[in-house]
Amino acid sequence: MPLTDAKCRSAQPGPRLQKLTDGGGLQLWLQPTGARLWRLAYRFDGKQKLLALGVYPTVPLARARQAREDAKRILADGLDPALEKKRQAQARANAPTFRHIAAEYVAKLRREKRSEATMAKVEWLLGFANAEFGDEPIRQIAAPAILKVLQSLEARERFDSARRLRSTIGSVFRYAIATARAEIDPTYALRGALTQVKATPRAAITDARKFGALLRAIDAFDGQPSTRIALQLLALLFPRPGELRLAEWTEFDLERAVWSIPASRMKMRRPHQMPLSRQAVELLGALRAISRGNFLFAGVRSPSRPISDGTLNAALRRLGYAKDEATGHGFRATASSLLNESGKWHPDAIERQLAHVEGNSVRAAYARGEHWDERVSMMQCWADYLDELKIPASRTVVAAVVK
């Protein structure tokens, strides 16, 4: 008579092993210790054999019956279910895990000389994935498992991190596909599954008179002299704050008035040269006299480490500018807006100075020039224009980027 869940639960152990039969060779062995073990009796190659199917109630009756049917199909194919189970277990043990492939992917990024900030971010993100399914064979990881870890970040309102994690996990899967250890990228199925949060542009002052007030406030900054100079250079050169914060003296040729930023520190992984205005060279000379170590802007505690990524924004707050009024990155938007509005400079020259990469592949093929001579003139005119913006509002302020 077939078993029921009630009978499986209520059966009491005795002094000897009891075998409760469900039919088709499926048995529940009730040990004297109280353990309940699923066994499947079958014949293969003329011999009586036994297959372990797990422990009740961890493996419920329905799953045990399904395992019995799976074993019958294996027998119908002329294979031994017990040997096939061992083969599958061995295959799982030898299968590359997500953690293993992710470590290879991280090593690949390091060989490509990605910045330490990028590597730290990638490894931090992969920590969430490894905690959830790092030890699973990569071929067995499906979209729902990935969505679970992404939604755990969204539940903490870390929407951008969830989006970046999806992209990073996808990169690991595509690396696995390229190395013949996976067939599909399950993150593709998650497009549109995450919460879409409208990006908030970084705050920037694009009104010339208001920007002049900010420049005057920076010149009067009473904090660390190096921090004041960093803010002044942000205004003059408008690099990405991280490019300036991590700048080293070996990158500067003050005689030629050129700052050469290596590809490893650029967002698009392309080396970038920046012409220096007379004002920028003077500031760098003053900074050189007070700097310590290789970094232009060394931290207070150790000259071997740069200032933190929050230092410049904190200085703007100290000057009285809220985070929705001005940010370190906002100097780029200010320069882009005012230079473009002047109408004097070619848009490509402005884009090259901002180290933007042309997204249109056809246009990029015809825009490989760096517009160097024009950029040299533009940066000197920009510096002169900032000097004029610093004139108090009671005096005439030039309204264009050139006299």
The two structure tokens encoding residue 172: 């690991």
SS3 328: coil
Beta strand 18-23 pairing with 252-253: unpaired
| Active-site entry in 9, 87, 318, 366 | 366
Rounded to 10°, the helix 372-389/208-219 angle is: 80
Distance, CA of 204 to CA of 200 (rounded, Å): 12
Is 105 annotated in the active site? Answer: no
Is 356 annotated in the active site? Answer: yes
Is 267 annotated in the active site? Answer: yes
What amino acid is encoded at 242 in this protein?
G
| Active-site entry in 99, 344, 356, 390 | 356
Is 329 annotated in the active site? Answer: yes
| Active-site entry in 166, 329, 352, 371 | 329
| Active-site entry in 267, 269, 317, 344 | 267
The CA angle 223-224-230, to the nearest 5 degrees, is 105
The two structure tokens encoding residue 193: 């599954």
Distance, CA of 307 to CA of 303 (rounded, Å): 9
| Active-site entry in 332, 352, 371, 375 | 332
Is 366 annotated in the active site? Answer: yes
403 close to 385: Cβ distance less than 8 angstroms:
no
Distance, CA of 318 to CA of 223 (rounded, Å): 9
| Active-site entry in 228, 240, 352, 375 | 240
Annotated catalytic residues are 240, 267, 329, 332, 356, 366
